[in-house]
Copies of this chain bind each other. A is one copy, B any other.
Amino acid sequence: MAGAVTVRDVARLASVSASTVSRALSASDLVAPVTRQRILDAAQQLGYTPNNSARGLITGRTNNFGLVVPDLENPYFASVTKGVQGRALREGYAVFVADSDEDVRSEIELVRKLASQVDGLILCSPRMSDEELADITEGTTTVLINRRLPEVESITVDDAEIVRQALGHLYALGHRCVAYAGGPATSWSDGQRRHGIHTALTDLPGLEVIEIGSFTPVFGGGQSAADLAVATGASAVLAYNDLMALGILSRLQARGIQVPRDMSVVGIDDVNAATLVSPALTTVRAPLRKVGTAAVNALIDGIRPENPRLEPEALPVQLIVRSSTSVPRSAVPLTSREEAGPNERSSNAHH
């Protein structure tokens, strides 16, 4: 297609054999510098481009990666994709991106289709079951994002720390009753976060966290969650992610409930849109692009284990304070504290 020019053409022009051309182009130190230069010039002159199919056929490697995400329009995955993309490219890999549209069946299909033509696969929070996942990744170097599975490499963020920082922030502002609007019940991250809440509570005496349910982790889910959050009487709400938090913000505004005066809102991720709204969203930033780059690094380590580039187990996060949080309306002035009994109320069990 692109270039009908082959190694043989280059070889002829450079007066060497095809194999020498091949060597000059890959294992460059196996050929005499002069010859090598001559070959390079010839290749340049002819506009030679190696045929990936032929190369792949014999080496068994494609220099391609595959990435499967549930929804490219979700800014979370857009950022991760961007991270994967950039890093892969810098390492000489092109990447297939596939959008499963949040659907398990197409997810499986995509993995099948891609697995055969990549050196490694990055699966971003796939919906499929552990068994399907284990089954389908068999024989392909795979890295999971935001999900752990024995035997499979994975990249996650520090969910416990996310919750700790979010809750710590609200606690410091004086909030003592916080609603948690959770993500999908099947979500691995959501599980981690709910667990993190319980851990965090031991350090935050007097804090009560009310779990108001599981929601689809998008704008609409947040809108539904908002009313429930209000109904609990909480002075602040922590959402499973920014998209939900944005939905909460929107619904609250629609009801005339002022943020942060009447209700503080905290998101998770620090998606771009978090700064597009007003009040700008206070959130715990997850290093989304870095998640992507780390996944690529892990993949490369899996393929070429020589010089592994180490990554932390769970990527660090950071609270970003913006305008959607403040001291609660009912706050006790800092000077004369101690109103609610210390360590009195603790988290209610999830219903």
Residues in chain A within 8 A of chain B (CB atoms) = 1-3, 49-57, 60-62, 64, 66, 71-73, 75, 78-79, 81-82, 85-86, 89, 94-99, 101, 106, 110, 112-117, 119, 139-140, 219, 246, 250, 253-254, 272-273, 275-278
Q: Is the CB of B60 within 8 A of A57?
A: no
Q: Is the CB of B116 within 8 A of A276?
A: no
Q: Is the CB of B97 within 8 A of A85?
A: yes
Closest B residue to A218 using CB positions: B272
Contact A116 to B82, CB < 8 A, known contacts A57-B57, A89-B98: no
Q: Is the CB of B2 within 8 A of A140?
A: yes
A112 to B3, CA, bound (A): 11
Q: Is the CB of B275 within 8 A of A219?
A: yes
A119 to B52, CA, bound (A): 13
Q: How far is the CB of A57 from chain B (nearest CB, A)?
A: 4
Given contacts A1-B140, A73-B79, A219-B276, 10 further A-B contacts (CB under 8 A): A2-B115, A53-B56, A53-B57, A57-B57, A81-B99, A85-B97, A94-B98, A96-B97, A219-B275, A273-B276
Closest B residue to A115 using CB positions: B2
A50 to B113, CA, bound (A): 10
Closest B residue to A277 using CB positions: B277
A49 to B140, CA, bound (A): 13
Pairs across A and B, CB under 8 Å, 16 listed:
A1-B116, A1-B140, A2-B115, A2-B116, A51-B116, A52-B53, A53-B117, A72-B85, A73-B79, A75-B75, A81-B97, A85-B97, A273-B273, A273-B276, A276-B276, A276-B277
Residues of B within 8 A of A61 (CB): 1
Interface centre among A49, A57, A106, A276 (most CB of B within 10 A): A276
Contact A119 to B1, CB < 8 A, known contacts A97-B85, A276-B273: yes
Closest B residue to A101 using CB positions: B86
Q: Is the CB of A81 within 8 A of B89?
A: no
Q: How far is the CB of A324 from chain B (nearest CB, A)?
A: 13
Within 8 Å by CB of A72, from B57, B64, B82, B277, lies: B82
Question: Which 3 pairs of residues, A with B, have the shortest CB-CB distance?
Answer: A53-B56, A97-B97, A53-B57
Residues of B within 8 A of A64 (CB): 96, 117
Residues of B within 8 A of A78 (CB): 72-73, 75, 78
Residues of B within 8 A of A110 (CB): 89
Residues of B within 8 A of A277 (CB): 276-278
Q: How far is the CB of A44 from chain B (nearest CB, A)?
A: 13
Interface centre among A71, A95, A273 (most CB of B within 10 A): A273
